[in-house]
A = this chain, B = another copy of it.
């Protein structure tokens, strides 16, 4: 590895990926232009070609570059680079569009799980879970009303002010309960705004809202969070797809 030291921890291929992404962002490698050949990168950074390939593979999965057999590896168009979706999506998505994401935590409370939510979280009904209600804002305008139900370790919870301070629910889970989230399953649809939505989101009853349900799983695929979100019709949920249904291309 050359100097320019930003991160000294983690595996080499990850650090190299960061360096390459930084080089792309600073324009060292032109948008939509080719990167140096893998063998050249290996020489330049003094690592094996396989390590270079791991870096490029990582960058490809997050939409920063793409490889084309026999031609080279290319920087993805800006539109593609902005469309990757992540578990902690809301703040990141919004800030990538040059807007400011915010939130107002309305309540944090412990309640017994309903049958429906117990089913989703794979726990027995009436077990105590933590319910969080938040309003999501973009540039200080309310865009979404969000209810999250968390299955935390028994007899543990957190307060409204703790969450408001840390800002991110996921950071709080990791720092406070050593829970790391690995995967999320989302389901999107459209519904008409009810009275509560109307007052919180400042829209008329019956107007169309984007409904998003999510189940978030830990690294061992235990359901940790069930979350229902309703967004105003000006909000856009964006995602990038780069997979095929068939194992056989």
CA distance A211 to B237 in the complex (A): 10
- Contact residues on A (Cβ < 8 Å of other chain), bracket: 35 or more
Given contacts A18-B248, A83-B185, A186-B238, could you give 16 more A-B pairs where the C-beta distance is less than 8 Å?
A76-B221, A80-B185, A80-B221, A84-B243, A86-B241, A88-B245, A89-B241, A183-B241, A186-B239, A187-B238, A189-B231, A190-B209, A192-B233, A208-B209, A210-B210, A239-B239
Known: A207-B192, A219-B68, A221-B66. A85 touches B236 (CB 8 A): no
Residue A27 lies at the interface, judged by CB distance under 8 Å to chain B: no
| Chain B residues near A237 (CB-CB < 8 A) | 187-189
Of residues A87, A189, A207, A236, which shows the largest number of chain B Cβ atoms within 10 Å of its Cβ? A189
- Nearest residue (CB) in B for A83 is B185
**Are A191 and B83 in contact, CB atoms less than 8 angstroms apart?**
no
Interface residues in A183-201 by Cβ distance below 8 A to B read 183-192
Mark A residues whose CB is within 8 Å of B: 7, 9-10, 14, 17-18, 21, 32, 58, 61-63, 66, 68, 74, 76-77, 79-80, 83-89, 92, 182-192, 206-211, 215, 217, 219-221, 231, 233-245, 247-249
A175 to chain B, nearest CB (A): 14
**Are B184 and A208 in contact, CB atoms less than 8 angstroms apart?**
no
Q: How many copies altogether?
A: 2
**Are B238 and A58 in contact, CB atoms less than 8 angstroms apart?**
no
A171 to chain B, nearest CB (A): 11
A-B CB contact pairs (8 Å), 21 listed: A14-B247, A62-B247, A66-B182, A66-B183, A66-B219, A68-B220, A80-B217, A80-B221, A83-B185, A85-B243, A87-B244, A87-B245, A89-B245, A184-B241, A186-B240, A187-B236, A188-B236, A189-B210, A190-B190, A190-B191, A210-B210
